[in-house]
């Protein structure tokens, strides 16, 4: 090895296994936090790699390939695994060895995949993972006998407790020779024959079979109970949303205060002018608009990762499948839609786990209808201004209106899915087949590493887009500058103001005035920017999102109630921020779908706002 830690021949080793075999835990245990997360070229599949030092000093790049049941892919993730194994991915080194990760509690199914992998002829080591959980269920496996039957080393591991890692490294060391192995070719194989062989082999090496999954089945008796199950799911969701919004409040406040303090510092240090405006209202406001959502997103992801790793998420998908089936989706769409309540961007990214392309596209298209947290500041200002703070029975009226807005988003999404599945994403849905893994205590390390990876993904994807669009829209709202002696607010003379003024006739039929039309333009950067834009347009010279007290007074004086209600209805469906469109473009690999998404949401928002405005006017509100 030379000084840079690179040797004459860089080794590449891949972790391969069924979903739920504990592959990612093993990857985390072997590589710790030294991971690089990227993307495979041309597809939106994550590439996770880390450094693995072998006992003899050689270093390998360890690649965590997406979990798959066989070498015949059914989804883009699974195709990456196959292509990586066969060395067909551009820019990827051919593999020197494979670590096949198998679940000791599910030997027969996982062994079938090992038999498939063995036939490739690459150096192979089997990690017999989760032997502790097997022991818990009373399953005893003769690993030495299994190694004899397979003809490859078998190492017992408990990834979450870091057990067996040294032995695994040693076995791998022995398997990888000096010469690079020949790239394998896919031979035709008879899956059912292999399945039978795996079953016989599993029976031969299990000296005690135990009562498989006893523990998980007891938990499922409650979690999947026809009455208790849905109630528990509702309680978990309720707690999760409470946590997302209440726990994040304080850190969001600190971030806003921090950004504001920086802006004050800059204002004191620099002369007033376009540079200060660019830094404060463009760059800092842009960075702030992204980072301020990080606390909510981290809390939401901590819940989602915990629920995923514990095995509960598939149960939620099971419980929700019936409802999803009615609108032409399946239970798997539930998880991405749940994420979209914090932000549509991670939600759309999470649709990668949906195997059917049509279902996935439908889920992407309806994800922005889930009320993301960026709509909250808009709702808060308008509700604060127009909805009286009185009680209706045991509930506050303001809270009820907020609830109705969330509900309207969900119902809108269901209707949209129903309509889309019969038109643009028409076609037979592939059958719903989903493994329900056993329950496990999630390991803190795995949650931490998962959280870190998703936070970085959010910051880099959303961050770059939100920030650049904020700067562009800042420029549009600042130029051209108002003439000397202008009486109207500066924004009205700008490009954004002119665009808003031009749009006004379009919005007038649904009760929106010119000020709203102008504010909607910068609101495309991120929805909550509409609040500060309203502040600007109503000439509250402090362009401060915190300064909503004055804005509430101003709006109350300027808007009739039907306009305010129409504005709320608009935001339920509002054509989403540019970052959502950009992520949709990325995930669907075409401009067609983001344009379609924008159009259908614009029409829905326009119709909803129009109906609300005219109904409210007719009712004399």
Partner 1 sequence: MIHSHRLIDSLVPGEVALIAAIDRGGLAPETAQRLCELGFDEGVDVEILHRAPFGGDPLAVRVGNMVVALRRDMARLIEVTA
Judged by the rule CB under 8 A, the positions of this chain that interact with partner 1 are 69-70, 72, 74, 105-109, 112, 191-192, 195-196, 199, 212-213, 216-217, 220, 224, 226-227, 229-230, 314, 317-319, 321-323, 325, 331, 430-436
Q: Which is nearer to partner 1, 122 or 317 (CB)?
A: 317
Nearest distance from C-beta of residue 318 to partner 1, angstroms: 5
Q: Could you give the C-alpha distances from 518 to 170, 211, 489, 554, in angstroms and in order? A: 66, 66, 12, 16
Residue 290: CB minimum distance to partner 1, A: 37
* CA separation for the pair 410, 341 (Å, rounded): 10
Smallest separation (angstroms) from partner 1 to the CB of 306: 20
CB of 190 to partner 1, least distance (A): 10
Nearer to partner 1, 238 or 254 (CB): 238
CA distances in angstroms from 53 to 35, 60, 93, 287, 559, listed in the order given: 14, 6, 18, 39, 67
Min separation Cβ 165 and partner 1, Å = 25
Minimal distance in Å, beta carbon 163 to partner 1? Answer: 22
Nearer to partner 1, 66 or 229 (CB): 229
DSSP type of residue 158: B
Cβ-in-10-Å burial (0-12, 13-18, 19+) of 546 comes to exposed
Least distance to partner 1, CB of residue 365, Å:
23
Minimum CB separation from partner 1 for residue 197, in Å? 12
* Min CB(263)–partner 1 separation in Å: 52
Please say which residue, 96 or 220, places its beta carbon nearer to partner 1.
Answer: 220
Which residue, chain included where needed, has tokens 């089936």? Answer: 325
Q: How far is the CB of 213 from partner 1 (least distance, A)?
A: 7
Q: Tell me the CA distances in angstroms from 598 to 366, 542, 601, 605, one per residue in order.
A: 11, 31, 5, 10
Closest contact distance (angstroms) between CB of 224 and partner 1 is 4
Give the whole-angstrom CA distance, residue 37 versus residue 44.
Answer: 12
Residue placing its CB nearer to partner 1 in the complex, 70 or 353: 70
Reported residue count of the chain is 621
Q: Which two tokens stand for residue 350?
A: 């999470």
Residue 227 vs 268, nearer CB to partner 1: 227
Tell me if 563 sits within 8 A of 511, measured CB to CB: yes
Q: Which is nearer to partner 1, 321 or 492 (CB)?
A: 321
Beta strand residue intervals within 209-360, DSSP E: none
HEC profile for 515-548? HHHHHHCHHHCCCCHHHHHHHHHCCCCCCCCCCH
- How far is C-alpha 566 from the geometric centre of its chain's CA atoms? 30
The smaller minimum CB distance to partner 1, of residues 61 and 321, is found at 321
CB of 138 to partner 1, least distance (A): 12
Give the Å distances, CA to CA, from 255 to 87, 264, 280, 338, 543: 46, 14, 15, 25, 17
Phi, psi values for residue 127, rounded to 5°: -95, 110
Nearer to partner 1, 410 or 436 (CB): 436
Residue 370 Cβ, how far from partner 1 at the closest point, in Å?
Answer: 21
Which residue's CB is nearer to partner 1, number 380 or number 434?
434
Do 101 and 23 contact (CB within 8 A), yes or no? yes
Distance CA 417, CA 326 (A): 10
Q: Which is nearer to partner 1, 317 or 343 (CB)?
A: 317
Nearer to partner 1, 227 or 272 (CB): 227
CB-based contacts of 150, cutoff 8 Å, min separation 6: 114, 115, 118, 126, 201
The Cα-based distances of 521 to 130, 507, 525 in angstroms read 54, 12, 8
Residues 319, 225: Cα–Cα separation, whole Å: 10
Number of Cβ within a 10 Å radius of residue 15: 24
The CB-of-191 to partner 1 minimum distance in angstroms stands at 5
Answer yes or no: are the C-beta atoms of 519 and 500 closer than 8 Å: yes
Q: How far is the CB of 441 from partner 1 (least distance, A)?
A: 19
14 or 107, CB closer to partner 1? 107
Between 72 and 553, name the residue whose CB sits nearer to partner 1.
72
Instruction: Map tokens 């309806």 to a residue.
Output: 366
Q: Between 17 and 123, whose beta carbon lies closer to partner 1? A: 17
Q: Which of 49, 146, 43, 54 is nearest to 89 (CA)?
A: 43
Query: Please, which residue, 5 or 431, has the CB nearer to partner 1?
Result: 431
Neighbours of 222 (CB within 10 A): 10
Q: How far is the CB of 103 from partner 1 (least distance, A)?
A: 9
The answer to whether the CB of 110 falls within 8 A of the CB of 188 is no
Please return the burial class of 174, using the count of CB atoms within 10 Å of its CB with bins 0-12, 13-18 and 19+: middle
Task: Print the SS3 string covering 207-248.
Answer: EECCCCCHHHHHHHHHHCCCCHHHHHHHHHHHHHHHHHHHHC
Place of tokens 């198998």: 102
Could you tell me the end-to-end alpha-carbon distance of the chain, in angstroms, rounded to an integer?
78
CA 305 to chain CA centroid, nearest Å: 10
């Amino acid at each position: 090895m030379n000084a840079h830690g690179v040797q004459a021949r860089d080794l590449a080793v891949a972790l391969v296994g069924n979903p739920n075999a504990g592959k990612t835990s093993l990857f985390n245990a072997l590589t710790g936090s030294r991971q690089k997360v990227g993307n495979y070229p041309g597809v939106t599949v994550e590439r996770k790699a880390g450094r693995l030092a072998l006992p003899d000093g050689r270093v390998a790049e360890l690649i965590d390939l997406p979990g798959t049941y066989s070498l015949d892919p059914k989804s883009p993730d699974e195709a990456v695994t196959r292509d990586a194994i066969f060395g067909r991915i551009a820019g990827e080194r051919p593999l020197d060895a494979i670590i096949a990760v198998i679940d000791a509690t599910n030997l027969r199914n996982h062994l079938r995949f090992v038999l498939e992998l063995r036939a490739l002829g690459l150096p192979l080591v089997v990690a017999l993972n989760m032997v502790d959980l097997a022991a818990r269920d009373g399953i005893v496996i003769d690993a030495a006998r299994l190694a004899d039957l397979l003809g490859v080393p078998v190492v017992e591991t408990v990834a979450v407790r870091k057990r067996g890692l040294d032995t695994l490294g040693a076995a791998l060391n022995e398997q990888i020779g000096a010469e690079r192995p020949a790239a394998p070719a896919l031979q035709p194989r008879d899956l059912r024959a292999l399945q039978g062989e795996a079953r016989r082999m599993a029976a031969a090496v299990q000296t005690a079979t135990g009562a498989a999954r006893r523990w998980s089945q007891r938990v499922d008796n409650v979690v999947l109970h026809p009455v208790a199950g849905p109630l528990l799911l509702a309680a978990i969701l309720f707690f999760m949303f409470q946590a997302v919004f209440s726990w994040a409040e304080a850190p969001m406040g600190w971030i806003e205060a921090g950004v504001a303090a920086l802006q004050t510092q800059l204002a004191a240090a620099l002369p007033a002018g376009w540079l200060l405006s660019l830094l404060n209202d463009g760059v800092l406001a842009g960075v702030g608009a992204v980072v301020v959502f990080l606390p909510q997103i981290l809390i939401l992801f901590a819940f989602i990762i915990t629920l995923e790793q514990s095995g509960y998420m598939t149960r939620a998908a099971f419980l929700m499948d019936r409802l999803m089936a009615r609108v032409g989706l399946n239970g798997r769409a539930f998880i991405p839609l749940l994420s979209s309540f914090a932000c549509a961007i991670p939600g759309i990214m999470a649709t990668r786990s949906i195997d059917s392309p049509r279902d996935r596209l439908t889920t992407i298209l309806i994800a922005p209808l889930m009320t993301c947290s960026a709509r909250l500041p808009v709702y808060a200002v308008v509700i604060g201004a127009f909805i009286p703070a009185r009680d209706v029975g045991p509930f506050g009226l303001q809270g009820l209106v907020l609830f109705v807005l969330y509900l309207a988003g969900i119902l809108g999404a269901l209707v949209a899915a129903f309509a889309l599945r019969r038109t643009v994403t028409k076609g037979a849905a592939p059958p719903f087949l989903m493994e329900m893994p056993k329950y496990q205590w999630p390991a803190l390390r795995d949650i931490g590493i998962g959280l870190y990876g998703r936070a970085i993904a959010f910051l880099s994807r959303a961050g770059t887009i939100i920030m650049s669009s904020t700067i562009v829209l800042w420029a549009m709202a600042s130029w051209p500058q108002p003439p000397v002696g202008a009486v109207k607010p500066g924004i009205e003379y700008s490009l954004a103001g002119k665009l808003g003024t031009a749009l006004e006739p379009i919005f007038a039929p649904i009760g929106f005035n010119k000020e709203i039309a102008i504010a909607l333009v910068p609101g495309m950067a991120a929805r909550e920017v509409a609040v500060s834009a309203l502040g600007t347009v109503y000439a509250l010279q402090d362009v401060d999102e915190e300064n909503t007290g004055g804005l509430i007074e101003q709006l109350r004086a300027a808007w009739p109630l039907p306009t305010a209600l129409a504005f709320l209805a608009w935001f339920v469906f509002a054509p989403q921020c540019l970052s959502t469109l950009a992520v949709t473009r990325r995930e669907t690999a075409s401009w067609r779908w983001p344009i379609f998404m924008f159009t259908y949401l614009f029409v829905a928002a326009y119709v909803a706002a129009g109906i609300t405005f005219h109904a409210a006017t007719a009712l004399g509100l």
